[in-house]
Amino acid sequence: MAMNTSPKAATAGVAGRKVAKAPGIRQTMSNLHIWTGLLAGWILYAMFLTGTVSYFRDEISQWMRPEVPSQSQLADAADLAPRLISTMQTLAPASPQWGIRLPDARNNTASAFWRDDKRFQRATFDPATAQPLTLRESIGGEFFYRFHFQLHFLPVLWGRWIAGLCGMFMLVAIISGVITHKKIFIDFFTFRRGKGQRSWLDAHNALSVLGLPFHLMITYTGLVTLMLLYMPWGSDVAFREAAQRQAMQTELSAFVSPDHPSGEKATLAPVSVMVQQAQERWGRDGIGNINVNNPGDAAARVIVVRADDARVSSSPQYMMFDGTNGELLQTKDRVGPAAETRGVLYALHLGRFADYPLRWLYFLVSLAGTAMVGTGLVLWTVKRRARLPDPARPYLGFRLVEKLNIVSIAGLSVAMSAFFGGIDCCPQHSWIAEAGKLTCSSSYGG
């Protein structure tokens, strides 16, 4: 039989075949949203939940250590600072540097760190007596704060790099999610109960839109807080000399490295006078820290640092005095535009400036972000279970996602409840680590 090879027949054959249509931008963004959210979702859930709790870390620390005396009125820094300095002269006379944190409206103790034989030591003080307190071994709310960007069980740098990578995934997931849902604001007012996959999607959309500006802000500013770790190349090229790097550091932090001691002993000038000068500039309760470099030496310097709990910026502001005669050597009350932008973004992420109503708003919207991540993880399994050939015997990847959902969502939540329920257990910081691992392992095995 002769085969028809005419051009007309060939054209008809091509027309008869169905040409696959390339996916559009929304479908591409949908796939990107799904997979970036899934791959980083379990760590993001832990970061969001522990970060949410961290907005009350000082209150949690106080609750976990009920033996700490309460304060009815905030101590005057000009009165408290000399007494703390006197205690430090007895406690660490040979240290090249003291760093003293004064109590504030949310933290009713003073604390100090110092270097001793190249190791850092810490102590907590009663503001009423300026003497060290003997406290139960607990890191309280600091555990959650450190966990949300260091992941606790990993080396510090590994934890921060993983947190940064997941933060980038979160930023991509937010932007791609906005592009994917063209009716996202209409869907915010739609919730269909008892509809399975549709209900989970409605909940995910509503929680996403509810705090969308906050989610964008908290994700981006979280990356900014460790920007020099994630992208150090610009500063490495721009600031090659040690003096240049030191100048950059002074734009970012109030930490002033001590100079070489002169070797000549000298008595420290009255610190109360220095603090009073700072109070005239920043107000009675505007002092956050007092750092002393080379105490007891003729090259001593006293740095009085402004508190950042009443301003929407963490950029350094301080007054530096000659430690031997109290002369004001430097007043730093502004930084460059780039450093100030970074300081504002940093402060927005930490929320230390927030009063209690605003802090509760931070907490609630951040909790909605936690639920947003959790519902997204659950939605992935609900949507695909309906498509399984045999839902009773899912494939390995599906079972893995389900188990990881249980570990991250249920396991971490139960472990945190155990943390708060174990206030009488000591030492608590090691107990919660083991309880968290045991709880998550039990959840996975179940």
pLDDT at 1: 45
pLDDT at 244: 86
pLDDT band at 189 (very low <50, low <70, confident <90, very high): low
pLDDT at 13: 52
Q: What is the pLDDT of residues 299-329, one digit of tens each?
A: 999 999 999 888 899 999 999 999 999 999 9
pLDDT at 101: 94
pLDDT at 112: 93
Percent of the chain with pLDDT over 90: 46
The DSSP string of 200-229 is HHHHHHHHHHHTHHHHHHHHHHHHHHTHHH
DSSP β-bridge partners for residue 292 = 98, 302
Higher per-residue confidence, 11 vs 373:
373
**pLDDT exceeds 70 at position 444:** no
In terms of Cα–Cα distance, which of 74, 84, 70, 6 is closest to 309?
74
pLDDT at 344: 95
Q: DSSP 3-state assignment of 126?
A: strand
Give per-residue burial for 122-146: e unless 16+ CB within 10 Å, then b: ebebbbeebeebeebebbbbbbbbb
pLDDT at 194: 60
Structural tokens at position 261: 């001691």
pLDDT band at 440 (very low <50, low <70, confident <90, very high): very low
**pLDDT exceeds 80 at position 17:** no
* Of 163-172, 179-188, 230-239, 431-440, minimum mean pLDDT range: 431-440
First to last CA, the chain: 67
pLDDT at 398: 87
Tally of CA atoms within 13 A in the half-sphere of 310 that contains its CB: 12
**pLDDT exceeds 50 at position 443:** no
Percent of the chain with pLDDT over 70: 86
pTM: 0.84
Residues with Cβ < 8 Å from 153, sequence gap 6 or more?
433, 437
Q: Distances in Å between the alpha carbon of 66 and those of 135, 136, 190, 214, 416?
A: 9, 9, 45, 34, 19
pLDDT at 435: 54
**Mean pLDDT (the chain, rounded):** 85
pLDDT at 267: 92
Mean of pLDDT values over 146-164: 92
Note whether 261 and 299 are within 8 A (CB).
Answer: yes
- Tell me how crowded residue 169 is: count the other CB atoms within 10 A of its CB: 20
In terms of Cα–Cα distance, which of 203, 217, 220 is closest to 376?
203
Q: What is the pLDDT of residues 87-105, one digit of tens each?
A: 999 999 989 999 999 998 8
* Of 64-73, 97-106, 174-183, minimum mean pLDDT range: 64-73
pLDDT at 445: 47
**pLDDT exceeds 90 at position 181:** no
pLDDT band at 282 (very low <50, low <70, confident <90, very high): very high
Angstrom distance (rounded) from CA 287 to CA 78:
9
The DSSP string of 377-443 is HHHHHHHHHTT-SSTTS--HHHHHHHHHHIIIIIIHHHHHHHHHHTTT-SSHHHHHHHHHHHHHHHH
pLDDT at 437: 46
